[in-house]
Every structure is written in structure tokens, then in C-alpha cells.
Amino acid sequence: SAVISQKPSRDICQRGTSLTIQCQVDSQVTMMFWYRQQPGQSLTLIATANQGSEATYESGFVIDKFPISRPNLTFSTLTVSNMSPEDSSIYLCSEGGINTEAFFGQGTRLTVV
């Protein structure tokens, strides 16, 4: 089973600023996934990150707002840009899940004030 280290675990940010979330996997993986979980809601996929290519974004999510990096097969970052209170959510990274078991990071609890 993969172990994913995600940081920060939580943050309180001012509106208009940006936050970068990091995920480190203990093994090489082809795809990593970024999810958002709004208060009281289930998980929604933001984008799929492949090493060496641009991330693929789901409907309703755009690169300018959620730029993603995937510099190698064990690491990815998600930036939440120009934040507003509506961006307050838990953000999670994962690997696997299409036809294998999925594993998740510990989540980043973001509050925008």
C-alpha cells in the first residue's frame, strides 16, 4: 500500500492570497489525483496529474485557479490561487483508484478569512 504525505495539514489564509499544497508518495506512481471536499459534502475530483504533461481538469475547475505541478513520479503540488471564503474546504491528494486500490493523503483543511 502506498503512503502519501500531504502538507500542510491545515491553514488559515487571507482572501486574495494563494496556498500551495504538497503531496509526496513513497513509491513511483503514474497518476495522482486532487480532490476537494467542501463542508458537509463528499469528494469532488479537481484534476488528474500525470508526470511530464499538463494536468487534466474536471468540469468546473480551471488551471488559473488550481495550477498543478507534477515534476516527478513521487511528488505533486496543488495551488489554490486568489482565494475567497468559498475555497474553504478540505483538499486531498491520492494515487490509484481507477482499477487499483486508492490511497489518500491526510488532507489539508483550508480556511479562508
C-beta of 43 vs 73, nearer to another protein = 43
Q: Is 21 in the site for another protein (CB under 8 A)?
A: no
Q: Is 27 in the site for another protein (CB under 8 A)?
A: no
Site for another protein in 46-105 (CB under 8 A): 48, 90, 92, 94, 97-105
Measured distance CA(100)–CA(110) in Å, rounded: 29
- Considering only 17, 41, 82, 84, the residue that binds another protein (CB under 8 A) is 41
Cβ count near 85 (within 10 Å): 9
Q: How remote is the C-alpha of 18 from its chain's centroid?
A: 14
C-beta of 56 vs 82, nearer to another protein = 56
Residue (of 25, 22, 68) closest to 45 by Cα position: 68
Q: How many residues does the chain have?
A: 113
Q: Is 42 in the site for another protein (CB under 8 A)?
A: yes
Residue (of 44, 73, 39, 76) closest to 61 by Cα position: 44
**Where does this chain bind another protein (CB under 8 A)?**
1, 6, 10, 33, 41-43, 45, 48, 90, 92, 94, 97-107, 109
